[in-house]
Amino acid sequence: MGRRRFTKTRIVNTGNVKDRILGVVLCGGKSSRMGSNKSLLPHSDGGRFIDHAIDQLQAVCAEVCIAGAANEKPVDLNHVFLHDNVAFQGPITGIISALQYASDNNFAACLVTPVDMPCLTHVHLTTLKSVWTANRVLTCAIDETNRLQPLIACYPIATLPLLKQLALSDDRSLYRWIATQPHQTVLIPSDAARNVNAPDDL
């Protein structure tokens, strides 16, 4: 009798390709509290944080890219890597680069996730995507404490000029900005939105 081979379950892209959503993993920043690049931390599923984030987005998006600083690109990944045009200006820089790339390549929106939320899965992203698809307005996760999670969100291409303006303004808070915009929210468990910032969070 032959030995049974166990292979990692492949997540199938069940999304409608016509939706043309670009998945974006935000992996820039200083990781100063962690003291090392959070993208490369080992995930309990066997890969690294960045592999986990890519896998989850790949399940729901037509294409996945990575947005970060030039020196952060893991050499083994073939995904499009969008370099921040200004270093360490926060995640808004990565979202703007991704929306620009999405606009140039005929995508309708960017589904953004941070690299440092290891419990966020394609199940949450599928819900976010279906709510986006229903109305096609800025769609942002909220956790169980009712807090907006701007780094788990679907940004339509039309938000690109607005975000460019925001990046130049005195208050660059995505959190406060989204609250002023037409948007819809999707409830996700607080555990899914728990981010890992420091070694003690692991």
Ligand X SMILES: Nc1nc2c(ncn2[C@@H]2O[C@H](COP(=O)(O)OP(=O)(O)OP(=O)(O)O)[C@@H](O)[C@H]2O)c(=O)[nH]1
Instruction: Give the phi and the psi of residue 96 in degrees, each rounded to 5.
Output: -65, -45
Q: Is 28 in the site for ligand X (CB under 6 A)?
A: yes
Q: Is 21 in the site for ligand X (CB under 6 A)?
A: no
Q: Is 121 in the site for ligand X (CB under 6 A)?
A: no
Identity of residue 35: G
**CA-based nearest residue to 55, from 72, 38, 69, 43:** 43
Q: Is 190 in the site for ligand X (CB under 6 A)?
A: no
Q: Is 56 in the site for ligand X (CB under 6 A)?
A: no
Instruction: Work out how close the CB of 80 gets to ligand X at its nearest, in angstroms, rounded to a whole number.
Output: 13
Instruction: Work out how close the CB of 3 gets to ligand X at its nearest, in angstroms, rounded to a whole number.
Output: 40
Nearer to ligand X, 90 or 156 (CB): 90
Q: Is 67 in the site for ligand X (CB under 6 A)?
A: yes
> What's the rounded Cα separation, in Å, for the pair 159 and 178?
10
Nearer to ligand X, 16 or 147 (CB): 147
> What's the rounded Cα separation, in Å, for the pair 81 and 64?
9
Q: Is 15 in the site for ligand X (CB under 6 A)?
A: no
Q: Which of residues 129-168 bind ligand X (CB under 6 A)?
A: 151
**What does the CA dihedral 186, 130, 127, 145 come to, rounded to 10 degrees?**
0
Q: Is 50 in the site for ligand X (CB under 6 A)?
A: no
Q: Is 186 in the site for ligand X (CB under 6 A)?
A: no
Q: Is 60 in the site for ligand X (CB under 6 A)?
A: no
Q: Which residues, in sequence order, are bridge partners of residue 112?
A: 24, 153
Q: Is 23 in the site for ligand X (CB under 6 A)?
A: no
> What's the rounded Cα separation, in Å, for the pair 125 and 61?
9
Instruction: Work out how close the CB of 114 gets to ligand X at its nearest, in angstroms, rounded to a whole number.
Output: 3
**What number of chain residues touch ligand X (CB under 6 A)?**
23
Interhelix angle 91-104/160-168, nearest 10 degrees? 150
Q: What is the DSSP secondary-structure string of 92-144?
A: HHHHHHHHHHHHHTT-SEEEEEETT-TT--HHHHHHHHHHHHHH-S-EEEE-T
- Residues in contact with ligand X by CB under 6 A are 26-33, 38, 67-68, 84, 88-91, 93-94, 114-116, 151, 197
